[in-house]
A and B are shown apart, each in its own frame.
Chain A
């Protein structure tokens, strides 16, 4: 089992390395480089050459990549072109905001999705089962910005219960934060819940066809105990990987929701940086997103290995 986990870790780092190469190459092939972005209207041939030499852009891409990635591994992400401050300083508050919203949403969505999935499996074919399936299918089929605007329209504008915008600042108190981000959180929960709930239901139902489940019923075990104690632990592996995918989405894929609610998260920062040609910030955001994805999937793989009794307790 240790070997398996070590293998997953090694693969994770390899993937991270690959992703960093792609990110660097991606920003490299964009039309116009840092020098022309900085000089803008003053970009004469001589000025450009001088600027490139100053920035070290005349050196081979491989050398610059090694410098960038090496720096990133040490926490040095370069300087932002727009603010001329270290990228890390601009990034940190945004990352905190993004993680706050992601954890807030996940803390509600994951337990709720698993509970609904289990209940749908216990009452397979019932009205409850069909209702949950239909509703979650609807929320996943509607684009998230529409879900966001609909919630805004009905809950904020018509009922006036919650603020429309989640414009938190550094100074916002924690309680206030929960209140302000309630609406974006709800939006995200609605978007991610369907996938996890359906996977829980499907994998529990697949396990329910096993002989050891029939055996549990023949032992006179009540149905909910059979589902929770006998079926669910064996259905965990696929559920874990879907949960990880959705957690990654909560960190990486929330750009649209952040825009809708004007929430100062990482996604907004990246969109702004792209429009300002702020290459170091774009690269840093890309690397962070890739790391979140890779780390979460790696953790899911390791959790799935740990959830397998055959691997946890070898002969």
Chain B
């Protein structure tokens, strides 16, 4: 479509007092997006930033004239190249989707049809809209694959989605969106599901694509540092309302709204979990542990660690590095094949079933997804009371008072005791997960990506809570995470894992300071920083190196 246009600075999109509301049979529901206005010129990128529930995706979809089930656009105008898309017929809206406005979703793995080849899916927009012949669309697809640095561009499209890596699939989705040269691209958290090192490549590919085709784009993310690399303007959203709107520089350097200031400050601030562990005897000692899943290659290969009372040991690595498997091996869910795991000097049997109740009690776990880790049909009394009953065999009244005490420690209201997890927010559920782990009065808690399913500021509160509990109770944490920002702030020790092996281990200041292990350096340099020239610098450094 854009080929027919001469005006370089044409306003392609004007969103004017947009209002989207949920609807049910009972009547209108909550307002999801309220009074949002912005304009977008050709070649311009606007970043929409906010936590979950901020309405970012709803705005992105509304630009396509689309709302998810149970929602409706109730007010405002969305003017796409002079026409209000809300007044278009369903057929005209359909014609707009793809050739006019194209969408790039968060999870490429879920957004590609597993039963169709990449060529079929990438060529679908131009072919189905009658813009190109299948052969011409294929040529365009090959060109885009080449532009996006995909391997073997001629044949890449013959593959099925499960045959390519996550980062490649995410770039293939960008090719799919670009296939009919749309006027506007909507990126909806397109790098959130990727590892940091992959994120850098994908971000660079997206930026190149936008610049070379002079396409307008809306970039939706919760990560201010990511959006800073790609957006000209940034709009900060919260609860469906605009908090602040300005140039990327202004938002990062001189945020006006208090909420934006907190978002910006979070990345910078450190907590520094206190290091008083040096003098303590070792709590958990792991030496040369090897483990694998049936029929697979080794997932853990010769890992050795030591955790003392009051320690926070971070285990970092990308997906597939074996860090979550390590947690399963320590808890005995996956029996180790070789090596030793000692707790307070006592050798732990490999399998959970062989361990004594006391051995089980001393190591507890907090999970990534509080939604899945808590039984939705049990009350908090059942959930938190269960380990108390199991490990300490206390009378009912005592269990109840202990649960109340734990709720107070978690800064949760006592009235929650009879509620079920469904009535709680994500951060509150994670606090319940922590309370359940603490109920067993363990010496060590394994935290498996405990903040990655939470919003930034909520995750921040959970980290603060964990730190306070450590100061009060002297618990040790084994902190599994892919977020190096978190590691720098909370861990006194760190172990970097790559493909099941340890590549670096030691005090955080030592591991994260030169001389680095090359992989540690790659990981560290891939964490986006809150300045708009970060991506350029990284790319330049890597091309010269």
Binding site for B on A (CB under 8 A): 210-212, 214-222, 225, 229-230, 233-234, 309-310, 313, 315
Contact = CB atoms under 8 A, between A and B. Distances in A.
A218 B128 contact: no
24 contacts: A210-B110, A211-B107, A212-B111, A212-B114, A215-B111, A216-B113, A217-B66, A218-B97, A218-B98, A219-B176, A220-B97, A220-B125, A220-B128, A220-B129, A221-B98, A221-B124, A221-B128, A222-B94, A230-B115, A234-B115, A309-B114, A310-B160, A313-B159, A315-B162
Contact of A218 (B66, B113, B114): B66
Contact of B110 (A212, A216, A221, A310): A212
A233 B116 CA distance: 9
A122 to B, nearest CB: 15
Given A220-B97, A225-B128, 9 more contacts: A211-B105, A211-B111, A214-B68, A215-B111, A217-B97, A220-B129, A222-B94, A229-B116, A313-B163
Contacts of A233: 115-116
A5 B61 CA distance: 44
A205 to B, nearest CB: 13
Contact of B160 (A217, A218, A225, A309): A309
B95 interface: yes
A286 to B, nearest CB: 40
A218 B163 contact: no
Contacts of B162: 309-310, 313, 315
Contact of A234 (B66, B68, B113): B113
A219 B97 contact: yes
Nearest to A216: B113
Contact of A211 (B110, B115, B129, B163): B110
Contacts of A216: 113, 124
Contacts of A215: 103, 105, 111-113
Contacts of B115: 230, 233-234, 309
A63 to B, nearest CB: 43
Interface in B84-134: 94-99, 102-103, 105, 107, 110-116, 124-125, 128-129
Contacts of B144: none
Nearest to B101: A218
B64 interface: yes
Contacts of B95: 220
Which 10 A-B residue pairs are closest in the complex by CB-CB distance?
Answer: A220-B97, A220-B98, A211-B110, A233-B115, A215-B111, A218-B103, A212-B113, A219-B98, A220-B94, A309-B160
Interface residues of B, number: 30
Nearest to B68: A214
Interface in B27-59: none
A280 B370 CA distance: 64
A209 to B, nearest CB: 9
A297 to B, nearest CB: 23
Nearest to A209: B69
A61 to B, nearest CB: 42
Contacts of B102: 218-219
B112 to A, nearest CB: 6
Contacts of B160: 309-310, 313
Contacts of B64: 218
A313 B110 CA distance: 18
Nearest to A313: B160
A154 B105 CA distance: 57
A214 B64 CA distance: 12
A310 B159 CA distance: 11
Nearest to B96: A220
Contacts of B105: 211, 215
A310 B99 CA distance: 30
Contacts of B128: 219-222, 225
A111 to B, nearest CB: 20
B112 A212 contact: yes
Contacts of B66: 217-218
A315 B103 contact: no
Contacts of B112: 212, 215
A34 B86 CA distance: 82
A234 B115 CA distance: 6
A27 to B, nearest CB: 44
A119 to B, nearest CB: 19
A232 to B, nearest CB: 9
Contacts of A212: 110-114
Nearest to A232: B115
Contact of A220 (B99, B111, B114, B159): B99
Nearest to A307: B115
Q: Indicate the member of A215, A216, A221, A222 with the most B CB atoms within 10 Å.
A: A215
B114 A310 contact: yes
Contacts of A217: 66, 97
Contacts of A234: 113-115
A215 B176 CA distance: 11
Interface in B172-202: 176
Contacts of B113: 212, 215-216, 230, 234
B175 to A, nearest CB: 13
User: Which among A217, A219, A310, A315 has the highest number of chain B CB atoms within 10 Å?
Assistant: A219
B108 to A, nearest CB: 10
A288 B494 CA distance: 67
Nearest to A235: B115
Contact of A219 (B61, B116, B124, B163): B124
A57 B515 CA distance: 89
Contacts of A225: 128
Contacts of B116: 229-230, 233
A177 to B, nearest CB: 39
A219 B110 contact: no
Nearest to A314: B163
Nearest to B128: A221
B64 to A, nearest CB: 6
A315 to B, nearest CB: 5
Contacts of B68: 214
Nearest to A315: B163
Nearest to A210: B110
A219 B96 CA distance: 9
B404 to A, nearest CB: 40
Interface string B192-228: 0000000000000000000000000000000000000
Q: In this complex, which of B64, B110, B113, B128 has the most chain A Cβ atoms within 10 angstroms of its Cβ? A: B113
Interface string B486-520: 00000000000000000000000000000000000
